[in-house]
């Protein structure tokens, strides 16, 4: 992490002694997803675990998968979170233990609310387009909603914010500049795909009570003066009412934000809980084939859970 900002007199937000606007550039880490896909993990990272309720960010591609299987993630369980599938290119076929079977395409929201328990698989369809490029994002559910019934939503029509001077923002989830996604959320947050045409020089209205981060997916967006090449996350802090944006070439980035998440969580494998016991029980019930239901139609068996670490898992806040 490198702190590029030294602004004095930070404004607090979220009531947790937070700093105001910052520009912390946090590099991603390459990790394998399934057998054939490499992703850049941007959250959690070395310095930060969450941005608002967003607790997990993987950016993948653009990958040329012509003649290859592409993404193949076997059935696996989730608890206590929502998953957001967002594509810039290609398509992902989602199956889950509720019986959902849905192809998610660029510009569409695939939103799975795990709640108490769900299992799903994600795969490139057999007949797929040449390039695969997108993001897999998780939102932690607050205590009041983490045991709710599981659900899957697919929204093909998302609101678009047209800013001045070449900015077009698709609101994936939550609210941006008065436009709200139809996806169900349980804490105040936003996820948006922001496209900047070459020559854009503008300001995007933000909510000062939210903290934000930006990850570039194509081109080189200049976010609050910081040129952001694909593969890193720029944490922007709180207390901003607008975000200065420039681009010399056509660029796009994903903006994530939300009210700072005040609850401590335990995140391990595909589970978000509040205690070691929550995680241990979910792992046990995945292994014994209870609680999560079955995903049908995926060619191949489910993902086995890894061994729990020898030490007890501890609840943690949004920073390391
Ligand atoms: Mn998953």
pLDDT in tens, 175-203: 999 999 999 999 999 999 999 999 999 99
Q: pTM of this prediction? A: 0.93
Beta bridge partner(s), residue 161: 169
Give the tokens for residue 227. 């040129």
Q: Is the pLDDT of residue 16 over 60?
A: no
Task: Tell me the CA–centroid distance for residue 78 and ligand 1, in Å.
Answer: 7
Burial 77-89 (b: 16+ CB within 10 A, else e): bbbbbbbbbbbbb
Number of folded domains in the chain?
A: 1
Res 8: pLDDT: 35
Q: Is the pLDDT of residue 216 over 70?
A: yes
Q: Percent of the chain scored above 70 by pLDDT?
A: 93
Mean pLDDT of the chain: 92
Q: Confidence class of residue 231 from pLDDT cuts 50, 70 and 90?
A: confident
Give the pLDDT mean for 106-135: 97
Give the tokens for residue 303. 């993902």
Res 13: pLDDT: 58
Q: Confidence class of residue 1 from pLDDT cuts 50, 70 and 90?
A: very low
Res 37: pLDDT: 75
Tokens 């695939």: give the residue: 110
Q: Is the pLDDT of residue 5 over 50?
A: no
Whether residue 55 is contained in a domain is answered as yes
CA atoms of 300 and 72, how far apart (whole Å): 10
Task: Tell me the CA–centroid distance for residue 27 and ligand 1, in Å.
Answer: 23
Whether residue 154 is contained in a domain is answered as yes
Give the pLDDT mean for 73-99: 97
Task: Tell me the CA–centroid distance for residue 242 and ligand 1, in Å.
Answer: 33
Task: Tell me the CA–centroid distance for residue 23 and ligand 1, in Å.
Answer: 30
Spatial strand order in the sheet of 29-33: 29-33, 37-43, 54-64, 131-140, 81-89, 109-113, 151-155
CATH number for position 91: 2.60.120.10
Q: How far is CA 221 from CA 36, 231, 254, in A?
A: 29, 12, 11
Q: In sequence order, what are the residues at sequence separation of 6 or more whose Cβ sits closer than 8 angstroms to the Cβ of residue 35?
A: 72
Give the tokens for residue 174. 């939550």
Task: Tell me the CA–centroid distance for residue 83 and ligand 1, in Å.
Answer: 7
Whether residue 46 is contained in a domain is answered as yes
Whether residue 84 is contained in a domain is answered as yes
Phi and psi torsions of 244, nearest 5°: -70, 130
Residue 111 structural domain = 29-258
Q: Is the pLDDT of residue 108 over 80?
A: yes
């Amino acid at each position: 992490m490198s702190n590029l900002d030294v602004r004095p007199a930070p404004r607090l937000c979220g009531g947790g002694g937070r700093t105001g606007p910052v520009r912390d550039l946090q590099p991603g880490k390459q990790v394998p997803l399934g057998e054939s896909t490499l992703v850049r993990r941007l959250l959690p990272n070395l310095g930060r675990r969450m941005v608002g309720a967003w607790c997990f960010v993987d950016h993948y591609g653009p990958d040329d998968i012509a003649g290859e299987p592409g993404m193949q993630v076997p059935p696996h369980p989730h608890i206590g979170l929502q998953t957001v599938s967002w594509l810039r290119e290609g398509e992902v076929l989602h199956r889950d233990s509720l019986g959902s079977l849905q192809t998610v395409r660029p510009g569409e929201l695939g939103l799975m609310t795990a709640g108490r328990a769900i299992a799903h698989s994600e795969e490139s369809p057999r007949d797929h387009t040449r390039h695969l490029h997108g993001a897999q994002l998780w939102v932690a559910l607050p205590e009041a909603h983490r045991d709710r019934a599981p659900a899957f939503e697919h929204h093909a029509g998302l609101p678009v914010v047209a800013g001045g001077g070449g900015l077009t923002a698709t609101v994936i989830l939550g609210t941006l500049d008065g436009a709200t996604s139809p996806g169900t959320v349980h804490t105040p947050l936003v996820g948006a795909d922001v496209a900047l045409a070459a020559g854009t020089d503008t300001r995007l209205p933000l909510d000062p009570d939210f903290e934000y981060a930006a990850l570039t997916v194509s081109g080189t967006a200049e976010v609050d003066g910081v040129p952001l090449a694909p593969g890193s996350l720029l944490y922007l802090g709180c207390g901003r009412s607008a975000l200065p944006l420039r681009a010399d070439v056509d660029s796009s980035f994903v903006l994530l934000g939300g009210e700072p998440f005040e609850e401590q969580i335990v995140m391990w494998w595909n589970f978000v809980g509040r205690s070691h016991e929550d995680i241990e029980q979910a792992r046990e019930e995945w292994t014994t084939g209870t609680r999560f239901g079955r995903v049908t139609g995926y060619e191949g068996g489910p993902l086995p859970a890894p061994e729990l670490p020898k030490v007890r898992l501890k609840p943690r806040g949004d920073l390391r």
